[in-house]
Amino acid sequence: MEETQSFVKDWKKEKVSTLTKLIKEYPVVGLLNLEELPSSQFQTIKLGLKNEMKIVTSRKSFITR
C-alpha cells in the first residue's frame, strides 16, 4: 500500500514555527478562547495592553496539534 504525502501550506508552517518560538521564548503563556468575544471589545483590549504584552491570535487546530 502506498503512503500519501499531505501538502502543508507555507503560511501554516510559518505560523506554527512562530508560535513554537514564542512559547519557548516567554516564561508565561496564556491561551484564551475568544469565540464569543465581540470583535470591538477584543480590539479595545488589544489596544489597552499592546505596550504590556504580546497578543497573537491563532486557530485552535494550530495550538492543539
Residue ranges covered by each domain of the chain: 10-62
Classify residue 15 as exposed, middle or buried by CB count within 10 Å of its CB (0-12, 13-18, 19+). middle
- The pLDDT of residue 5 is 77
Reading the chain (65 residues) residue by residue, the pLDDT tens digits are: 667 777 888 988 898 898 889 999 999 998 888 889 999 999 999 999 989 998 888 877 777 76
Q: What is the pTM of this model?
A: 0.65
